[in-house]
Structure 1
Amino acid sequence: MRLSKNTVAAFEQYPEKVLQFGEGNFLRCFVDWMFHELNKKADFKGSIVVVQPIENGMVDMLNEQDCLYTLYLRGLQNGKVENYHETISVISRGINPYTQFSEYLKTAENPEMRFVISNTTEAGIAYKAEDKATDTPPSSYPAKLTVWLYHRYKTFNGDASKGMHIIPCELIDKNAYYLKKYILQLAADWKLEDGFTAWLESACTFNNTLVDRIVPGYPKDRIAEITAELGYEDKQVVEGEPFHLWVIEAGEQLEKELPFPSIGLNVLYTKDVSPYKVRKVRILNGVHTALVPVAYLYGIDTVRESMEDAVVGKFIKDALFEEIIPTLDLPLQELQDFAAAVLERFSNPFIKHLLMSISLNSWAKFETRVLPSILEYVKRKNAVPKHLSFSLAATIAFYKGERNGEAIALKDDADLLELLQNAWSKYDGSDASVKAVVTTVLAYEKNWKFDLNTVAGLTDAVTAHLVNIQKLGMKEAIKTV
């Protein structure tokens, strides 16, 4: 038996108020779940129309089971294991604009439509000059949305009350800013009237966001167990962790219309999303990046095992609380609470997060996620942070390409791999040759944007750590920190 309206008790369909571009796991596990909660707890009484943003997608599969799906939230929450599932019924229908373009445009004629949500991947918010207003549909997401917004503007004769709150969830900085920029550019390219541009500026809001929830997605390794538990077949099951955070740059009006915080969801409305983005990048992503080479060379393969190891676990916590948090400017308690939640997420017994999967493009990640903490620490403390500089040394050791006699499958830009290979080829076991390797890596301005050898004390600190790693091995070298 397939999941459908017939298998859900007390099924109720609400008016369509949300247009959503994207039908993938993340939006269904994150935003759609939140709107489902809003219907249950805040009398929102609205449903979501899902638009397939690319030609080959999954709306047909979603429609086949009446746009219902089962959400599993599994992990640690406040020190307790949470393993919860629920049928999500907030999506009304899925539309493929490549085969249902007129139906897609018709949704713009609905006076109750109020919100636009999207997650079209990092590449989705892009300007394509070849898109035309007459395309059915245009290829890019900004162009599809421009066509839709213009149709709405014309339908309601520029009525300001029919403007939209546009809330992109793509993982790029200033996502709404760039989406608006490209829409305005397309409006100019297409020579749409000035009244439309004025309506976009005055009647619509474009809200930058930050989203955070680990979503493993479809649990193919245990779907037989899930099907037996549910008693029906669901091809759209999605798994996620209990933790969730949605930071939305918005005014008071949006919070009134979408009162997520009032029902206990971790949604923050703010005038500036930037500090929260920095917090996430430096703490969650930064710790991930700093952890990988240390734990992997120590002999560990997953994030959870790293947390459970007494030595590596302590290294992670010390780096986080002693060296990363002191470089951030949000309230201390807020930073500590977020950090504690991150460590709990890393310990999730239901997620097997391989260190090697995080190691992809480690140098670019280190430059954006860890290096800012090192530089800010040096600036504020007039000293080199010992744990983060040790991680930098461990990253250099990791790119030597060997763990306990076995080759490491390094994945990075070809020029970086060549740089490290050449540097390590000159290593002869002496301290001087270690320093030569370090100096070469820190001088690579293409990655760092400037010569890191100019940072007071950094070259010597990293060299000392790398000497210990090479002579003692990771298990003993980490103890020197």
Structure 2
Amino acid sequence: MERLNRAMLESLQTPGLEIGPRRELPVKAMQFGEGNFLRAFIDWMIDKSNEAGKFNGMVQLIQPLPQGTADLINRQEGLYTLILRGMENGKAAEYKRVITCVKGCLKTSDEWEKVVECACLPTLEVVFSNTTEAGIEYKPEPYTPGQSQKTFPAKVTSLLFERFQAGRKGLLFVPCELIDRNGGKLRECILRYAADWKLGDTFVSYVENECAFVNTLVDRIVAGYPRAEAADYCAKLGYEDDLLDCGEIFHLFVVEGDEKFRAKLPFAEAGLNLIWTRNQAPYRSRKVRFLNGGHTSSVLAAYLAGFDFVDQMTSDPLFGRYLRTALFEEVFPTVQLPDDEKRAFAESIIDRFLNPFANHQLISISLNSISKWQVRVLPSLLDYLKITGRLPKVLTFSLAALLAFYRGTETADGKWEGKREKGSYPISDDPEKIRFINECYAKLDADGDTSAFVRNILGRNDFWGQDLTAVPGLADAVSDDLAAIRREGVVPAVEQLLEA
């Protein structure tokens, strides 16, 4: 079969397949991150808005890391098929669409000049990003004109300075990283680099007054490439597509910012579920604590227990109960909304996790679990302790499961692998953090002191944003849970936990 390409679009007549607008449009958006989520969320929204005649622009993807999918994206001329699946009105529904709004993908590692050229385009208006919870952070580094910086905010600062020097108008920044006040934090990082690099007061004024940074909340479960079904899908579609992307039908995009920027993001006007608000806090707390917290507090333990997909975990009697305990007993009291609204939302999360079409892999959710646990689970744990005077047992156990999941060995190419009964698995996080945990494991193997092991890790402010050994009883509880996992296995440990 022929690989998906733009020349074939006119002749494609696959039943049920939508095809985005075929016309060439100017590049209006730059997107840092070429992964499954943004392609199933932001790029889908741009494509649908182009179809409605509202956005009328292409998006240039940027691969911010040395490894990624840029080569695959460019080989398919920016095209890929998005498959949205779920239940609608009690019936299975599926939508297939060739996304046509992607211009291509540039690598910051070896195409920096082209990235700069894109950043200086007069048609450019918006910058999207999703560099995970660990992406928007300030780390001191020297300014290297003509070369890519290291951190994402430093890259953006360098590019924005190039745009400023070229006399171009300011940009709207729409970060999609799942951290509180993501736009404000990106702005703070840029201003710190501008001061470090002595880029001048005029540039600082440009960032502060001519650029805008909105805070966002994104919500759609995206499973990504349907490996087990890819061959069947391609046979039905009539072409090869190495970038198939699968997600649920549900979507929500909450933007906190001045409505004067609404025209640059005309997604609601195209019939999509975008909410503009002056305060996204209630939406964020509800979504991050229930949905994302539900994922992060459960998937690592479930993966070690042998499960591979979210729906398998959720439908299992033991781990379904584990998840419901976390959501309905421990997260529930920490969200400041009416009980009926919280209960309905939590039940909707269970339904979404049970979606038989999602194929959402637990291992994909495990990416950067340390920063995810800090953002998604820790606030609920601390608030529950404050409200009740005791630790939430499942959320506490999830930290022990994280430590168990991160035990691994470093491979020859500098990556890390863990092991479970079903075989090895990748541990994907900051290599220095993984290395530190496994250095602590070496000491644990030598002296058997689980309490010292846990305290060494929980005491790392750079892991958790605070010293978790100061949280009353937490280190001891995590030590007990980890010892149970190591002694008996994760399934017996969970059984004992829920019976306690």
TM-score, reference length from structure 1: 0.75
- Does structure 1 conserve the Cα–Cα contact (< 8 Å) formed by 2:325 and 2:394? yes
Contact 1:207 1:250 in 2 (8 A): yes
Identify if the C-alpha distance between structure 1 residues 313 and 293 changes in structure 2 by more than 3 Å, giving closer, same or farther: same
How far did residue 253 of structure 1 move? Answer: 1.7
Q: Identify the residue that residue 2 of structure 1 maps to in structure 2.
A: 3
Look at both structures and tell me which one has the larger radius of gyration over its CA atoms.
1
Asked if residue 414 in structure 1 is aligned to residue 426 in structure 2, the reply is no
Q: What is the CA-CA distance between 1:206 and the residue it aligns to?
A: 1.6
Q: Percent identity?
A: 39
Question: Which moved further from structure 2: 123-132 or 67-76?
Answer: 123-132
Cα shift readout 1:61-102 (whole Å, capped 9, x = no counterpart): 433433221111234456543332101111234445666655
How far apart, CA to CA, are the structure 2 residues paired with 1:442 and 1:129?
Answer: 31
Contact 1:212 1:244 in 2 (8 A): yes
Q: Is the 8 A contact 1:163 1:200 kept in 2?
A: yes
Checking the alignment, whether the CA contact within 8 Å between 1:128 and 1:140 is kept in structure 2 is: no
- Report the counterpart of residue 40 of structure 1 in structure 2: 51
SS of match in other structure, 1:166: strand
Q: What is the SS of the residue equivalent to 1:8? A: helix
Q: Residue 47 of structure 1 contacts residue 92 of structure 1 at CA under 8 Å; is this kept in 2?
A: yes
**Structure 2 equivalent of residue 254 of structure 1:** 261
- CA separation in 2, counterparts of 1:407 and 1:95? 37
How far did residue 232 of structure 1 move?
A: 1.6
User: Do the aligned residues in 1 keep the contact of 2:216 with 2:253 (CA within 8 Å)?
Assistant: yes
Does 2:229 match 1:222? yes
In the alignment, structure 1 residue 117 sits paired with structure 2 residue 135: no
The aligned runs of 1:102-181 (5 Å cut-off) are 103-121=114-132, 122-123=134-135, 126-127=138-139, 129-133=141-145, 135-156=146-167, 162-181=169-188
Number of aligned residue pairs: 458
CA distance 1:93–1:323, change in 2 (3 Å):
closer
Contact 1:213 1:241 in 2 (8 A): yes
2:16 is matched with which residue? none
- Partner residue of 2:324 out of 307, 317, 322: 317
Deviation at 1:115, TM superposition (A): 0.6
Secondary structure at 2:356 match in 1: coil
> Map of 1:193-342 to 2, 5 A cutoff?
193-291=200-298, 302-310=309-317, 312-342=319-349
State the 1:366 CA deviation: 6.2
Cα 1:377–1:95 shift into 2, 3 Å: closer
- The alpha-carbon distance between structure 1 residues 187 and 290, as it changes in their structure 2 partners (threshold 3 A), is closer
Once the two structures are overlaid, the 10-residue window that deviates more, 29-38 or 304-313, is: 304-313
Give the corresponding residue for 1:430: none
Query: Is this contact kept in 1: 2:222–2:358, CA < 8 A?
Result: no
The Cα shift of 1:251 comes to 1.4
Q: Give the aligned partner of residue 467 of structure 2.
A: 449
- 1-structure distance, mates of 2:305, 2:454: 22
Partner-residue secondary structure (3-state), 1:210: strand
Asked if the contact 2:85/2:248 (under 8 Å) is kept, the reply is yes
**1:90 aligns to 2:101 (yes or no):** yes
* Secondary structure, counterpart of 2:77 in structure 1: coil
Distance 1:233 1:275, change over 3 A: same
Query: Contact between 2:54 and 2:270, CA under 8 Å: does it hold in 1?
Result: no
Alignment of 1:1-40 (within 5 A): 1-9=2-10, 11-40=22-51
- SS for the counterpart of 2:459 is helix
Kindly indicate whether the alpha-carbon contact (under 8 Å) linking 1:246 and 1:267 is maintained by their aligned counterparts in 2. yes
What SS does the aligned partner of 1:221 have? coil
Note if contact 2:298-2:398 (Cα within 8 Å) is conserved in structure 1: yes
In 1, are the aligned partners of 2:318 and 2:495 still within 8 Å (CA)? Answer: no
**Which runs of 5 or more residues in structure 2 are unaligned?**
11-20, 408-419, 428-433, 461-465
Deviation at 1:258, TM superposition (A): 1.4
Read off the aligned partner of 2:202 and give its amino acid letter: G
Residue identity opposite 2:161 in structure 1: Y
Q: Matched residues in 1 for 2:276 and 2:455: separation? A: 39
Unmatched 5+ stretches in structure 1: 427-436
> Is the aligned partner of 1:185 residue 2:192?
yes
The SS at the match of 1:74 is: strand
Q: CA RMSD in A?
A: 4.6
Q: Distance in 2 between matches of 1:148 and 1:297?
A: 42
* Amino acid of the structure 1 residue aligned with 2:290: I
Of residues 76, 92, 105, the one that matches 1:65 is 76
8 Å contact kept, 1:13–1:92 = no
Distance 1:390 1:188, change over 3 A: closer
Change (3 A) 1:306 1:236: closer
Residue 167 to residue 364, structure 1, CA distance change in 2 (3 Å): closer
What amino acid sits opposite 1:204 in the alignment? Answer: C
User: Does the 8 A contact of 1:290 with 1:370 survive in 2?
Assistant: yes
Deviating more after overlay: 101-110 vs 411-420:
411-420
- Give the counterpart letter for 1:449 in structure 2: D
Cα displacement (A) at 1:34: 0.9
Task: Please say if residues 294 and 394 of structure 1, whose CA atoms lie closer than 8 Å, have aligned partners that are also in contact.
Answer: yes
State the shift of 1:200 in Å. Answer: 1.4
CA shift in 2, pair 1:369/1:439, >3 Å: farther
Residue 454 to residue 231, structure 1, CA distance change in 2 (3 Å): closer
CA separation of 1:289 and 1:151: change in aligned 2, threshold 3 A? closer
Partners of 1:2 and 1:234 within 8 A in 2: yes
Which amino acid in 2 is paired with 1:131?
Y
Contact 1:42 1:259 in 2 (8 A): no
Mark the CA change 1:111 to 1:420 in structure 2 (over 3 Å): closer, same or farther.
Answer: same
Structure 2 equivalent of residue 379 of structure 1: 386
Q: Report if the CA contact (8 A) 1:442-1:452 is conserved.
A: no
Residue 236 of structure 1 and its aligned partner are, at CA, apart by: 2.5
Counterpart in the other structure of 1:433: none
